Structure 1
Amino acid sequence: MVGRRGRARDISSNSASGLSSLPLARKLAYFDGEFERLQRERRLPASRSGRLRVLEPLLRCGACLSPGPSGDGRLALAAGVLLLLLLPGCLLLCGGPATRFLSFCGRVLLIQLLPYWDWTLYSNTDCLIRNPYYFARGLESLQLTDCINVCQKYPTVESLQKVDPKVVLQKYLRQNLPLVITDGAEEWVALREFTVPFLIRNCNKAAAKVIRGFYQRPYFLPPVVELAESNWLLMASQAENGGTEDKFIKVGDYDGDLLMWIAQLQGVFEIQLLPKDMCASNCTHYTLQLSPGEAVAVPLQMWEVQYRPFSSTAIGIAATGNWLQDSR
């Protein structure tokens, strides 16, 4: 046993200096050869603990042949890692061929990952994070029973204040029921600042940004509702003969949108809600008068919106919106 240990020590001491200059593959081949030789010469004990005692010098030698990085080596390693982290960002900023090259490398990497991880399941998924406001029932077509239910159970448009947005969505919008919010625009600067002379300006992007600074997203709209980029500015002033407009005006084109809201800022507008399609012969229309600070939310699947001024001067804002629905 002493001779075996002496032999192992000779290997570690005499060969360490020569092995240190060899590549890693040659070092591994050397130790494999030594291990096989010891097995052929039956110098390895039968028990596992005994074999470990004999191989301990070789293992210790392997550890000393592959020391950890020195101070300079650690600095170089840190610099390399930092470079790898910054490289993608630099390539993206450079744009052009560098961006295309990075995109190519990413695609190749994803293809190589396919045998080990099927990332296509996530790539083909519409939403990776569940939307708590997602409407699972789907975008259902309007039925005759929907028209009758609304007309029989909702004879007048309800008025609420300090209403919960979730209640607006679940109890009214998704049930095709319009709703007046009496404090819908109470806190807006526009309620105090908008006048006809103030609003006579060009309808360009710069002016639109300035005007949007006077009001914000209506508080009663739930987060699921995404508002359209363009808004309508409803404005009327006294005619030359002192009368007001008698005809109702339809509020724009809103194909595909599910919601419209109108907020009254100055004067009074008369809002008329007309039933659409099959509901037209089974439902009567609603006529509302909005006072300053009030707003109305109208589901557009069942209702068409038109307005006319009911005072010598009237100013309001209108916009449409939508929310995700399952098309099945």
Structure 2
Amino acid sequence: MVGRRGRGCSGPRSLPFSRKLSYFDGEFERLHRRRLLPGSESEWCRVLEPLLRCGAPPTGSPGRGGGGRGSGRIAIAAGVLLLLGCLALCSRSCAGFLSFCGRALLIQMLPYWDWTLYSNSDCLIGNPYYFERGLESLQLTDCINVCRRYPTVESLHRADPKIVLQNYLRQNLPLIITDGTEQWVAQTEFTVPFLTQLYNGHPVLQNTVVCSYWDSLHSLENSPGAFLEKVHQQRPAQWAIQWKNCNKAAAKVIRAFYQRPYFLPPVVELAESNWLLMASRGEGGGTEDTFIKVRDHDGDLLMWIAQLQGVFEVQLLPKDICAGLCTHYTLQLSPGETVAVPLQMWEVQYRPFSSTAVGLAATGNWLQDPR
């Protein structure tokens, strides 16, 4: 009996690993067919005891480096594997433990270094372009300076972003950029038929809801695609529509047709959303009191409107205390021109000046030094 066990133990140990697996699978299959597999945990231990004993060196036998050192290495390896397993499976709890240790260390450091001054600060490094929200309010001197020094809206070509920031945006002065849409795909592609097909055929634009929707026909669908299709079929004498692509995926589809305006300095952070403004004017008629306001600015301080097709007549109305001191500006945007408007002082409204006009707009925040 002892001899059989010795031969059985020495045989599998000399086989390759894959053959060992096949051997043990055969043994379990044989036991299963003969219904000799145990039904309890203690019985399993009794049956597997010979197999386990074959894999371990006899007690007291000199192994490589000695039995004590071998078991110590096994214990160290098991501890390292256990630690790595805990880090992999319990990352949240480990992160919480490390965070606790870090906080305890910081508390011990307080007598030697007051780190609370940095912890309570909004920024570790001061931003020279940052200003408090309370400084946004208009002053009477701002209105006087703008109205006296700026009787008309100036136009720039090949504008320097630094000049745009220093001489216009920080002074609440609107300006027109004559080459603001060069190399934009939207300049040639954004026609009424193209936008109708785009909003009725693109899966992202079909399945997203727009914001700040308005049209002159008071449609119930609040869908640009449905409205443009209705215009294509009914061909009304005059119509107007504007909407805001506030969904990130939809706004990204529209942004694929244009780039960031080159004249905006890096300190201007553009919003993710964008507007499309479209309107048509009937032959010879009735454009009085048809100005459309661009609303829902989300508190942004800058808006730019790029003229893509036709001509828009744009009015800039002074806000707050400047309304009684300044008159409004009226300007006409031709295809390729872009108007940049500081929203802190001005409100924007527009209407078509040609048969059909298409514009693209977006907002952003421009930053200035504290006063």
- TM-score band by shorter chain is 0.5 to 0.7
Distance 1:153 1:94, change over 3 A: farther
Q: Does 1:234 align with 2:280?
A: no
The structural deviation recorded for 1:244 is 7.5
Shift of residue 218, structure 1, vs aligned partner? 1.0
What is the aligned-residue identity percentage? 79
Shift in CA distance, 167/136, structure 1 to aligned 2, threshold 3 Å: farther
Could you tell me how far apart the structure 2 residues matched to 1:326 and 1:161 are? Answer: 26
CA distance in 1, matches of 2:313, 2:271: 23
What is aligned with 2:312?
A: 269
Matched, 1:101 2:97: yes
Q: Deviations over 1:153-200 (max 9, x none)?
A: 111000001111111111111111111011111121111211112223
Match of residue 355 from structure 2: 312
Matched residues in 2 for 1:324 and 1:305: separation? 20
Match of 2:300 in 1: 257
Match of residue 174 from structure 2: 178
Q: Using the TM superposition, give the Cα deviation of residue 118 of structure 1 relative to its aligned residue in structure 2, in angstroms.
A: 2.1
Match for residue 147 of structure 1 among 131, 143, 150? 143
- Mapping for residues 120-159 of structure 1, pairs under 5 Å: 120-134=116-130, 139-159=135-155
Shift of 1:324: 4.3
Report the alpha carbon displacement of residue 266 of structure 1 after superposing the two structures with TM. 1.2
**CA-CA distance at 1:93 after TM superposition:** 9.2
Distance in 1 (CA, whole Å) between partners of 2:354 and 2:90 is: 59
Matching residue's letter, 2:195:
L
Deviations 1:222-273 (A, max 9, x none): 111112222111122466x786855111101225321111111111111100
1:199 aligned residue: 195
Measure the CA separation in 1 of the matches of 2:131 and 2:90.
42
Could you tell me whether the CA contact under 8 Å between 2:318 and 2:328 is conserved in 1? yes
Asked if residue 303 in structure 1 is aligned to residue 346 in structure 2, the reply is: yes
Matched, 1:278 2:274: no
- Output the CA distance in 1 between the equivalents of 2:316 and 2:89: 52
Query: Quick one: structure 1 residues 93 and 180, their matched pair in 2 at CA, closer, same or farther if it must change by over 3 Å?
Result: farther
Q: How has the CA–CA distance of structure 1 residues 179 and 115 changed in structure 2, closer, same or farther, with 3 Å as cutoff? A: same
Larger CA deviation: 245-254 vs 263-272: 245-254
* Structure 1 pair 91–259 and aligned structure 2 pair: CA distance change class (3 A): farther
Distance 1:198 1:111, change over 3 A: farther
CA distance in 1, matches of 2:366, 2:137: 16
Q: Give the 3-state SS of the residue equivalent to 1:149 in structure 2.
A: helix
The residue aligned with 1:222 is 265
- SS of the aligned residue for 1:262 comes to strand
Q: 1:298 to 1:187 in 2, by over 3 A?
A: same
Residue 364 of structure 2 corresponds to 321
Distance (Å, rounded) in 1 between the aligned partners of 2:272 and 2:136: 26
Specify whether residues 132 and 244 from structure 1 end up closer, same or farther in structure 2 by C-alpha distance, changes over 3 A only.
farther
Report the Cα distance in structure 1 between the residues aligned to 2:335 and 2:164, rounded to whole angstroms. 21
Please say if residues 132 and 370 of structure 2, whose CA atoms lie closer than 8 Å, have aligned partners that are also in contact.
no
Kindly tell me: are residues 217 and 91 of structure 1, through their superposed partners in 2, closer, same or farther at Cα, counting changes over 3 Å? farther
Which has the higher mean CA deviation after the structures are superposed, 263-272 or 242-251?
Answer: 242-251
Compared with structure 1, are the counterparts of its residues 150 and 91 closer, same or farther at alpha carbon in structure 2 (3 Å cutoff)? farther
**How far did 1:143 drift?**
2.2
Structure 2 counterpart of 1:211: 254
| 4+ residue segments displaced more than 6 Å | none
CA RMSD of aligned residues (A): 3.2
Alignment correspondent of 2:31: none
Any stretches of 5+ residues in structure 2 without a counterpart?
1-72, 200-204, 209-246
Of 138, 157, 160, the residue aligned with 1:164 is 160
Q: Report if aligned partners of 2:281, 2:352 keep a CA contact under 8 Å in 1.
A: no
SS in 2 for 1:146: helix
Query: In the aligned structure 2, how far is the partner of 1:266 from the partner of 1:92?
Result: 57
Q: State whether residues 130 and 370 of structure 2, in contact with CA within 8 Å, keep that contact through their aligned partners in structure 1.
A: no
Query: 1:248·1:308 contact (CA, 8 Å) conserved in 2?
Result: yes
**What TM-score, normalized by structure 2, do the two folds share?**
0.58
**Take 1:274 and 1:307, find their aligned partners in 2: how far apart are those partners?**
11
CA displacement at 1:208 relative to structure 2: 2.4
Q: Using the alignment, how far apart are the partners of 2:308 and 2:286 within structure 1? A: 18
